[in-house]
Structure formats: structure tokens, C-alpha cells
């Protein structure tokens, strides 16, 4: 059997796509899986690293101001739809999955116009533009949050949760302490700003470094590539206090296992991982995303008493006061942990692939 998985742009689109591909391959080891992404975006390197073939389309999004890119937009869309159509005809997939992002639009347009079973996976509590535009063309829409009827036809929605690597919830604390060379007697704070890093979180963390040793707190700080050199320099005087600036944490299963509290952006993937790992968290939604969807993701947890929300504009003044209060309050940590686990969908990936196979069977 053959499958095309299209979309990308950020880790929040790419990692769920890879999780779906892995589940297909687990069930059908001989399945052929082709990814389609946008040239120049991170999926063009991340997907091959995961062991899959990817083809790039020359497509970008519309800019919010008049630019040469915008003038070329209709031409890029036309070329991408034509290339996607040729890919569909040459590869002849049994089904197509779109995970959002620029590249999923041409592929899903080409697939649905040819009657190929197609499914959308929407990660956020506020639907992306591409998924909203294509909702009436596809057969199923797998969502991570309740109340998505305001964006999609209700009869096509399946509440599945987001595909998350299940191993992320099975890290060993003992192994993590050894891996990161941490002190088992100290509280551990994990700071993650998404796959690219987050300037607000990095500035607030750098300013708070002197406070952490006094509070008996050790730190795992994922800075992102752009901010790493400066963060490494800032953290260097506190190396003996176990305040570690790290460009990227590959063993997130161990980072979650050892963390008492997590400070994070509120991207869909991050929120789903926090639910699955059951971690007490402080969410600082990015203001630089479409339709402020990270705030909506965060509120889905906060409204259930499952996380703490600090706005981006208040992070400098309030974030670490709140973090240190939470680290000193095990009872509140436990309460947040219990409530966030109730929102987890550990079987999300298998449910989505079940839905995909049902479409093919029809």
C-alpha cells in the first residue's frame, strides 16, 4: 500500500506526521510512504532524519505586507498544484494525510479532485487556514480539542488527540539524573521554547539565573540554535550549580522524567506532550502565531485547572516568581499533574491510523 503525508513548516506539524508514518509502517512494514513538504522549510531535513523520503514544493505563505513573494504567490500555487497532481498520478497513493502547513494544500487539492481517500490532522484548538479551506473536500478531520465544530463539518470530525511519541512518557528518572549529571536532592526546572527557541523565555531565564541556586533549583534550559551561544555564556558562571544551557534536547523523554516543573510555549505538540507526561507546567503562549492559537491551546488546559498561564508581556516580571512558588509547592504540582493527565490521548496515533484505514476500506 502507498501513502502520501503532506505539510510541515514547524516541529508541531512535522513530528505528528512522522508519528503517523511510523504507525503505518508498524502495521504495514512494506508500505511505501512519501512525504511532501515546502522547499526551504525544516521538514526537508527532519523527515529524512526520521528515515523517510520527501519531495519539496516551491510554495510559501502570504506575507502580511506587499512583497515580491506575494506577487509570485498565485504562480507558486499553480506550479505546486500541478506538481502535486503529477506526484499523485505517478505515486498512486491509497490515501493522503494532510497535517497543515503550506505544502498540504496543493497535495490535498490534487488528491481529493481524483477521489483519493484523504484525511486532515489538526493539532491546534484554533484551526489553521489551510485545514479550514480544505475541510469540506476531505473525508475525515482528526482533531485534538473539543469544540472544533466551529471550524469543520461536525459529521467529519473525530476527536483523537495529537500524535505524540509514546516513548516520551516512559523516561527513567534514574537514567535522566545520570544522563544530565543532576543532583537527585534538588528540584529540577525544565525550560523549552519549541524547536526554534523562544526569545521571551530565554531573556526571562537569563535574568533569573542568580535566583535559582539560592532556591536549590537546577535547570535544563533548551535555548534553540539562534540563542545558544549567548545563553551558554550566561549560564557558564553557574555550571557548578547545575544550571545547564542546551541548544537542543534530543532525549526529551529523560528531560520530562526528571523535571518537577516545566516552563513552555503552548504549541500543540508541547501541550500534548505535557498532557501525556503529566507534568506541572507554566505556559507562556507565543504572541507571534496566527490567530493567537497558542493562547487558545493554553486556555484549554488552564480552564480545567491543568496548567498555569503567564502572558508573554508579563513573563519578564512574573514568570520566575510563579515558577519558584510552584517548585516549592509539591501539593500544587501534584494537583496540576493529575488534571493534565486527564486530558491526555495516549492512543491518538493509533486512532488516526485506524480512521485512515477505514477510509481505504470504504
* Residue 6 assigned to a binding site: no
Residue 278 marked in a binding site: no
Q: Is 139 a known ligand-binding residue?
A: no
- Is there a binding annotation on residue 230? no
Residue 12 counted as an annotated binding residue:
yes
Q: Centre a 10 Å sphere on the Cβ of residue 112 and count the other Cβ atoms it contains.
A: 18
- Across the beta sheet with 281-283, the strand order is 243-246, 217-222, 187-192, 261-264, 281-283, 308-309
Neighbours of 132 (CB within 10 A): 14
107 is in an annotated binding site: no
CA–CA gap between residue 72 and residue 86 (Å, rounded): 21
Residue 251, all three cell numbers = 532525549
Is 124 assigned to a binding site?
A: yes
DSSP code per residue over 146-158: S-GGGTS-GGGEE
Helix (H, G, I), strand (E, B) or coil at 357: helix
Q: How far is CA 359 from CA 65, 146, 362, in A?
A: 40, 22, 5
294 in a known ligand binding site:
yes
Q: 10 Å Cβ neighbour count for 150?
A: 8
The answer on whether 232 is annotated among ligand-binding residues is no
* DSSP three-state, residue 49: helix
Q: Considering only CA atoms, which of 154, 141, 140, 81 is closest in space to residue 111?
A: 81
User: Is 99 assigned a ligand-binding role in the annotation?
Assistant: no
- Do 345 and 125 form a contact (C-beta atoms < 8 A)? no
Burial class (CB in 10 A: 0-12, 13-18, 19+), 203: middle
Q: Annotated binding residue at 70? A: no
| Cβ(138)–Cβ(120) below 8 Å | yes
- From start to end of the chain, where are the E strands? 2-6, 32-38, 53-57, 95-98, 118-122, 140-143, 157-159, 187-192, 217-222, 243-246, 261-264, 281-283, 308-309
136 annotated among ligand-binding-site residues: no
Question: Which positions make up the binding site for UDP-N-acetyl-alpha-D-glucosamine?
Answer: 10-12, 124, 165, 195, 249, 268-273, 294
Question: Which positions make up the binding site?
Answer: 10-12, 124, 165, 195, 249, 268-273, 294
Amino acid at each position: 500500500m502507498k501513502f502520501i503525508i503532506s505539510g510541515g513548516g514547524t516541529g508541531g506539524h512535522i513530528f505528528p506526521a512522522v508519528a503517523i508514518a511510523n504507525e503505518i509502517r508498524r502495521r504495514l512494514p512494506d508500505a511505501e510512504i512519501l512525504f511532501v513538504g515546502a522547499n526551504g522549510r525544516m521538514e526537508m531535513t527532519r523527515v529524512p532524519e526520521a528515515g523517510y523520503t520527501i519531495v519539496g514544493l516551491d510554495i510559501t505563505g502570504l506575507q502580511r505586507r506587499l512583497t515580491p513573494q506575494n506577487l509570485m504567490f498565485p504562480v507558486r500555487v499553480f506550479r505546486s498544484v500541478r506538481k502535486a497532481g503529477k506526484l499523485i498520478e505517478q505515486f498512486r497513493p491509497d490515501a493522503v494525510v494532510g497535517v497543515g502547513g503550506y505544502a498540504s494544500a496543493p497535495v490535498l487539492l490534487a488528491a481529493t479532485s481524483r477521489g483519493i481517500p484523504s484525511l486532515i490532522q489538526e493539532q491546534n484548538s484554533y484551526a489553521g487556514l489551510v485545514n479550514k479551506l480544505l475541510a469540506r473536500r476531505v473525508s475525515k478531520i482528526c482533531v485534538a480539542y473539543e469544540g472544533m465544530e466551529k471550524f469543520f463539518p461536525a459529521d467529519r470530525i473525530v476527536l483523537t488527540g495529537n500524535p505524540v511519541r509514546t516513548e516520551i512518557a516512559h523516561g527513567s528518572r534514574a537514567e535522566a539524573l545520570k544522563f544530565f549529571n543532576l543532583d537527585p536532592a534538588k528540584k529540577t526546572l525544565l525550560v523549552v521554547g519549541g524547536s526554534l527557541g523562544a526569545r521571551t523565555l530565554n531573556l526571562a531565564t537569563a535574568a533569573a539565573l542568580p535566583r535559582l541556586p539560592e532556591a536549590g533549583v537546577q535547570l535544563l534550559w533548551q535555548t534553540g540554535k539562534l540563542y545558544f551561544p549567548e545563553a551558554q555564556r550566561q549560564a557558564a558562571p553557574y555550571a557548578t550549580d547545575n544550571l545547564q544551557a542546551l541548544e537542543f534536547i534530543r532525549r526529551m523523554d529523560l528531560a520530562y522524567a526528571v523535571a518537577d516543573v516545566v516552563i513552555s510555549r503552548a504549541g500543540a505538540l508541547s501541550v500534548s506532550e505535557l498532557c501525556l507526561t503529566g507534568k506541572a507546567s507554566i505556559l507562556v503562549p507565543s504572541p507571534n502565531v496566527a490567530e493567537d492559537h497558542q493562547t487558545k491551546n493554553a486556555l484549554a488546559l488552564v480552564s480545567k485547572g491543568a496548567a498555569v498561564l503567564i502572558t508573554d508581556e508579563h513573563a519578564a516580571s512574573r514568570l520566575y516568581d510563579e515558577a519558584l512558588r510552584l517548585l516549592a509547592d509539591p501539593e500544587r504540582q501534584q494537583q496540576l499533574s493529575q488534571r493534565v493527565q486527564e486530558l491526555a490521548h495516549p492512543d491518538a496515533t493509533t486512532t488516526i491510523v485506524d480512521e485512515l484505514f477505514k477510509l481505504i476500506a470504504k
